Amino acid sequence: MRNIVETAIDAGVFKTLVQAVEAADLTETLSEGGPFTVCAPDDEAFSKLPGGALESLLKDRESLRQVLLFHVASGQVMSRDIVSLDSVKTLQGEELKIDITQGVQIGEAQVTQPDIECSNGVIHVIDRVLIPKSAQIHAAPL
């Protein structure tokens, strides 16, 4: 079984996420640490960010780390476990609300593919990038 980073690379739909993890210097953590639960935005989710936001994040390592760690929780939380939770504390420090009234929603994102098991945790694919309240994201003016 592959680790979280290897699984993300192999999937082929997380190119932007993998690039961001590398830029934030989190590759080793997400490869060797754990177990972790990762709510992973796919490339389509990253494309929904406002213009210039991703480029801005990739240049600001600390903000990028905060955004990425907002997608990671300690422990392996499978979808069968999520139904009994109201929220999950992220490695970034803030809580993400969980709502199961219409599918599974974590924060503002919908889980599109749950329970991709990895050697050091689990990936749940989500349809948008989650931004913590504390993050400073600068997008190009509209």
* Residue 136 CB contacts under 8 Å (≥ 6 apart), including other chains: 60, 63
Count up the domains in the chain and report the number: 1
In a domain, 135, yes or no: no
In a domain, 133, yes or no: no
pLDDT band at 134 (very low <50, low <70, confident <90, very high): confident
pTM value is 0.93
In a domain, 120, yes or no: yes
In a domain, 9, yes or no: yes
In a domain, 38, yes or no: yes
In a domain, 78, yes or no: yes
Q: Tell me which long-range contacts 57-61 makes (C-beta under 8 A, separation of at least 24).
A: 57/20, 57/137, 58/19, 58/20, 58/23, 60/136, 61/23, 61/24, 61/25
In a domain, 131, yes or no: no
**pLDDT tens digit string along 25-52?**
999 999 999 999 999 999 999 999 999 9
Domain that includes residue 12, residue range: 4-126
**pLDDT tens digit string along 3-24?**
999 999 999 999 999 999 999 9
CATH number of residue 81's parent domain: 2.30.180.10
In a domain, 116, yes or no: yes
* 47 CB-side CA count, 13 A: 6
